[in-house]
Amino acid sequence: MDLIKNNVSLGVGNSKWQWVLDNSQGYSSRLVSTKIDDIIIEKSGHLQGTMKNNYLPQKIGIFVWRALRGRIPVREELDKRGIDLDSLLCPMCNDFIESVDHVLISCKAATDVWKAIYNWWGSSPPNFDSLQKLFSGSGRGILS
């Protein structure tokens, strides 16, 4: 709200809104999205390398940011929020609770995808058991 309040003005004597977030004086949802991302990153600087990475599309950075904060609607997270489900087991393997780490890292389906990606890159996949370790930037994480 502060972003909008501080960057929109009503000119004196006219009824035209003016966007003052950049020099063009025009509104763009991409510009607002970028500014909101900058604010989020500023407040949680430890994820700066994840959300703002020149090698990853912005949507991927936002997905990683959400995944690292438990904001992906996997069964474990839905259950924490009081949503009644028939089962918490992963529907792909039916062996483990469907958590973000399981779905994106340790499920057989996920490991097959990671292997294919790293094979395409001509490398071997890192051996991580959590997103925190994978995206930490330390060791052989994906962003290292």
Give residue 51's pLDDT band: very low, low, confident or very high (50, 70, 90): low
Same domain for 83 and 130: yes
Among 9-13, 20-24, 61-65, the least confident range: 9-13
Shared-domain flag, residues 29 and 82: no
50 plus 35 within the same structural domain: no
**Do the domain assignments include residue 144?**
no
- Are residue 112 and residue 59 in the same domain, yes or no? yes
> Do 67 and 124 fall within a single domain?
yes
What is the per-residue pLDDT for 8? 56
105/130 Cα distance (integer angstroms) = 7
- Output the CA–CA distances (angstroms, integers) from residue 10 to 4, 6, 17, 25, 26, in the order listed: 12, 12, 5, 12, 14
77 or 129: which leads in pLDDT: 77
Confidence of residue 140 (pLDDT cuts 50, 70, 90): very low
Domain containing 5 equals: 1-43
pLDDT of residue 144: 40
71 located within any domain: yes
In a domain, 15, yes or no: yes
Same-domain status, 2 and 23: yes
Give the integer Cα–Cα distance in Å for 65 and 130. Answer: 14
Total-model pTM: 0.60
Residue 73 has pLDDT above 60, yes or no: yes
Predicted local confidence at residue 116, as pLDDT: 93
pLDDT digits (tens, 9 = 90+) for 1-20: 665 566 555 555 555 555 66
Q: How many domains does the chain have?
A: 2
Domain contains 142: no
